[in-house]
Amino acid sequence: MRKVWVFGGAAVALGMGFVMLLVVGVYIVAGNLVNGATSGARGLAKGAVPAAYKSLVQQWGNLCPALSPALLAAQLYQESGWNPTVVSPADARGIAQFIPSTWATHGIDGNGDGRRDIWDPNDAIPSAASYDCELAKYVKDVPGNVSDNMLAAYNAGAYRVIRARGVPAISETRNYVQRIRSLEESFAAPVSRLDPTRAAAGAIAFAQSRLGTPYLWGGNGTADQGGRFDCSGLTKAAYEKVGITLPRVANDQYNAGPHPSRDQLLPGDLVFFSDNLTDSRAIRHVGIYVGGGYMIDAPRTGAVIRFDPIDTPDYFGATRVTEDGAKALPTRV
């Protein structure tokens, strides 16, 4: 449990005034930067890939030009949520969700132990990368973005992509390509300043309006719960107020957009905390950054929604929530 900071009434009043200035500032910054800043990515964002799989994803994500570590990570997260034992209703198995018949023809012995094990991430992750790159070869002469065409072939089959001369007009396939490319941004380490979002101001305003509300484990702010929240219930409700739907739990909210560094934080960014700083799946707390090193959060049973400092030993990182990033998140991971 992090150290508790207590604010007197005067301090809270000053803090609320400070937040209102920040809310206005978000709009000003957005207007100034949105047309001038760009974001790009190489490598993996801090902790986005669990430490047990990071080296595999980094190595095999560079297998061919159409693939990247972040894109491979996005596929694996979309397919299994990093769960190496999951089985889908269609009998897709393991961390890469291979159907046994597909594994029989495309599974490889990634770790060189003489076995091709669909359940072993050391085989399944290399096999997913190998399969992606094989599909990329099939569609290399198709017009358009080769990575988009590769993903479309993964979803709909290479023949359909070749016949359509690009991503086919199949809603499931187009949505799949868009989801993976949006998720890719969440797994990639940004190389330039990230654009601010206008939604951030509304999210802060909502959280501010709930200051002083008692914490409730599992709280979603409903009337029968007395309008109380837990940490991720508060952040989910704050962004729902501005039309962005986040997952319910904090470790999935981490993947709702790209990840600014500590010195690039802007009001409205979600900030996360964990006892394991190498694995986003271990995140246990989230708040909404308001500037000046502080967040609004619902900290724990017995406390109220309040301002807390973010610079603690368990600070994990941050997410700049985007509408596309939130929409890309799988409903079940």
Listed in order, the ranges of the chain carrying CATH 3.90.1720.10 are 198-328
Whole-angstrom distance, CA of residue 66 vs CA of residue 263: 32
**Per-residue model confidence (pLDDT) at position 333:** 61
The token pair at 38 is 């760009």
Q: Residues 4-63: pLDDT tens digits?
A: 333 333 333 434 444 444 444 443 333 333 333 223 335 899 899 999 999 999 999 999
Q: Residues 94-123: pLDDT tens digits?
A: 999 999 999 999 999 999 999 999 999 999
Residues 6+ apart with CB under 8 A from 246: 232, 235, 236, 239, 240, 252, 253, 256, 321, 326, 329
Q: Mean pLDDT, to the nearest integer, of 253-262?
A: 95
pLDDT classification of 330: cutoffs 50, 70, 90: confident
**Per-residue model confidence (pLDDT) at position 19:** 46
User: Percent of the chain beyond pLDDT 90?
Assistant: 83
**Per-residue model confidence (pLDDT) at position 191:** 80
Identify residue 101 by its one-letter amino acid code: S
C-alpha torsion 297→299→303→308, nearest 10: -60
Q: Class of 198-328 per CATH?
A: alpha beta
Residues 6+ apart with CB under 8 A from 112: none
Whole-angstrom distance, CA of residue 22 vs CA of residue 293: 12
Q: Residues 204-245: pLDDT tens digits?
A: 999 999 999 999 999 999 999 999 999 999 999 999 999 999
Tell me which DSSP letter residue 279 carries. -
The candidate with the shortest Cα–Cα distance to 181, out of 142, 152, 160, is 152
**pLDDT exceeds 80 at position 269:** yes
Q: Mean pLDDT, to the nearest integer, of 266-286?
A: 96
| End-to-end Cα distance, the chain | 26
pTM for this prediction: 0.83
3-state secondary structure string across 43-109: EECCCCCCHHHHHHHHHHCCCCCCCCHHHHHHHHHHHHCCCCCCECCCCCECCCCECHHHHHHHCCC
Beta bridge partners of 252: none
Listed in order, the ranges of the chain carrying CATH 1.10.530.10 are 53-187
Please list the alpha-helical segments (H only) found in the chain. 9-33, 51-60, 69-80, 100-106, 121-138, 146-156, 158-164, 171-187, 199-209, 231-240, 250-253, 323-328
Q: Mean pLDDT, to the nearest integer, of 278-290?
A: 96
The token pair at 11 is 């301090």
Q: What is the largest CA-CA distance in the chain?
A: 68
CATH number corresponding to 53-187:
1.10.530.10
